[in-house]
Chains A and B, each alone.
Chain A
């Protein structure tokens, strides 16, 4: 069980997260939608402390972190229970596709190189890149890089996978393959996904959150959110994105 209470973040004068409360059940897939600049990505980044939240509590299993006084050790522990998929892939440029997947396994999880390589090979096959394991990121297409990014996150077997606009930086031709992979991963992974792909959100989500102005304005199952939106801001947003 993952519990977020009163998560808040300001950048200077601007309040980006105005107190987010959210509980995520194991295996649940939550999709966050909303206009840009409303704190969706910041929410994900704060959960991994890539941006440091100003206030609030994050509980993952038995680990409870008070954002305002989180220690270095707690932040590390929290990050080790989550996995992150970045909008711009953020693959390690000096590591091959396989090494991108094994890096955290050997260095953070202290797995043997042989065991890590075996898991990486299984994941490379799963993401359809069995023959590209020795390629550096610079030699991969955007879609391939993002699949490695997802593979790196899969390998961690994290309690929560945070997926930040996984297709926003991709050329349209690569979007399909990345979404297909995410659909497969979602079958057995708790996920919090920020996306602008509404069709994908509708298919994959157990629950959809609509954020505006740093708050969760409306939430519910995809059928309710997309077919019977209540809040005028959500109605306007859905009209805009078609």
Chain B
């Protein structure tokens, strides 16, 4: 027998224990990244002087370099510059890296969604005397969120899978646990298959939620 199914079955509960950590990293990163991305998108859409240029460079950098390189820069590189950064643990570094990286991508899709909102919505808000920020928060962003939601959920799925890179920062999450088990048993194929199936199952569950949500969003504002 090439594949030891019994060994695989035994691994499932071991790796399952690390699912909460993976989800925790993904959910926290996603929550902060969403807020950050919305702020970055607003700066770009309103062309806030100076900040706009800084944000453009920020987005360019985080989209233009690999996530793995960014994680290494934060975790292994930064302490050389800021000794205080030495006390940051792997989980925190991974959350920071994921947040910054994905906020750049998400900012661009939120910006696209904002720019797609009909001009009449801006004019109506302006005409009643709303400030740009009031207009953004109460009229434009809620409509843009509806447009961007499917894309943002895709980024969340991508983010869940990307938490596996925290393993390279010494974090024992799902991937790290699988690696450790495999190193002890030399059953690499089985260990990595188990972890692959587990990611797949999580993502499938989310895709189900995504399909339900898209159906609901299609009905929004239509009562």
Question: Which residues of A are interface residues toward B (Cβ below 8 A)?
Answer: 48-50, 76, 79-80, 82-84, 86, 88-96, 103-104, 107-108, 134-139, 152, 156
Contact = CB atoms under 8 A, between A and B. Distances in A.
A145 to B, nearest CB: 11
22 contacts: A48-B126, A49-B126, A76-B131, A79-B127, A79-B128, A82-B127, A83-B128, A84-B128, A86-B120, A90-B123, A93-B221, A94-B139, A94-B142, A94-B221, A95-B139, A96-B223, A103-B138, A104-B128, A104-B130, A107-B138, A134-B223, A138-B222
Nearest to A108: B129
Contact of B221 (A80, A108, A138): A138
Contacts of B120: 86, 88-90
Given A79-B128, A79-B129, 5 more contacts: A50-B127, A86-B123, A86-B124, A103-B139, A152-B128
A91 B143 CA distance: 13
Which A-B residue pairs are the 5 nearest by beta carbons? A104-B128, A80-B129, A84-B127, A90-B120, A90-B124
Contacts of B127: 48, 50, 79, 82-84, 86, 90
A130 B211 CA distance: 36
B25 to A, nearest CB: 32
B134 interface: yes
A94 B136 CA distance: 12
A96 B220 CA distance: 11
A88 B120 CA distance: 8
Q: Chain A at the B interface: mostly helix, strand, loop or mixed?
A: loop
Interface residues of B, number: 21
B223 A94 contact: no
A92 B135 CA distance: 10
Nearest to A82: B127
B222 A139 contact: yes
B125 interface: yes
Nearest to A50: B123
Contact of A107 (B124, B126, B130, B223): B130
B60 interface: no
A134 B121 CA distance: 19
Contacts of B121: 90, 92-93
Interface string B142-168: 110010000000000000000000000
Contacts of A136: 221-223
A139 B128 contact: no
B221 A103 contact: no
A226 to B, nearest CB: 30
Given A104-B130, A138-B222, A139-B222, A91 B142 contact: no
Contacts of A92: 121, 124-125, 139
A80 B128 CA distance: 6
Contacts of A49: 126
Contacts of B146: 94
